């Protein structure tokens, strides 16, 4: 039977090896990707890959930006703070897939247009 102290030390060492806060960010980003993909099922393997990448990047980049903006880095020293940071990273990734999908749908509708037509349409939509 293993000793509780050595087992918990091995667990802490494993967590440090994964990167601690970076591991929490990766978990949050992965969970956000799963949730988003279940809600809006990708139409093709390409769309699946784009959705996965954009959600992970949105989670990590957006979560990091929120943490830096509000000075929440000290949360990384507490296990409950890491869980809270994971929640922030998770929630920042949720809109990323939708935003990327909307942009690609907008671009797809204008597939045959040249740059001048697109610029005129954007100007018109912005009211200029």
For every one of its 128 residues, what pLDDT tens digit does the chain have, with 9 covering 90 and above? 555 555 555 555 555 555 566 666 667 667 776 776 676 677 888 888 888 888 888 888 988 899 999 999 898 888 888 888 888 888 888 888 888 888 888 888 888 889 999 899 889 988 87
Q: Is 88 a member of any domain?
A: yes
Using CA atoms, how far apart are residues 39 and 46, in angstroms rounded to an integer? 17
- CB of 66 closer than 8 Å to CB of 7: no
Q: Is 118 a member of any domain?
A: yes
Q: Is 72 a member of any domain?
A: yes
Using CA atoms, how far apart are residues 64 and 122, in angstroms rounded to an integer? 31
Using CA atoms, how far apart are residues 27 and 115, in angstroms rounded to an integer? 40
Q: Is 116 a member of any domain?
A: yes
pTM beyond 0.85: the answer is no
Residue 121 has which token pair? 């349409």
Looking at the structure of the chain, the number of domains it has is 1
Tokens 């597939």 locate to 111
Q: Is 13 a member of any domain?
A: no
Q: Which domain holds residue 122?
A: 21-126
Q: Is 78 a member of any domain?
A: yes
């Amino acid at each position: 039977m293993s000793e509780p102290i050595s087992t918990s030390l091995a667990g802490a060492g494993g967590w440090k090896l994964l990167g601690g806060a970076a591991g929490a960010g990766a978990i949050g980003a992965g969970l956000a990707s799963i949730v988003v993909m279940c809600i809006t099922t990708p139409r093709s393997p390409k769309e699946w890959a784009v959705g996965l990448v954009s959600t992970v990047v949105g989670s990590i980049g957006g979560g990091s930006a929120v943490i830096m903006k509000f000075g929440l880095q000290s949360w990384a020293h507490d296990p409950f703070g890491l869980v809270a940071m994971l929640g922030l990273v998770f929630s920042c990734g949720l809109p990323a897939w939708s935003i990327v999908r909307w942009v690609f749908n907008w671009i797809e509708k204008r597939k045959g247009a040249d740059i001048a037509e697109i610029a005129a349409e954007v100007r018109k939509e912005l009211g200029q």
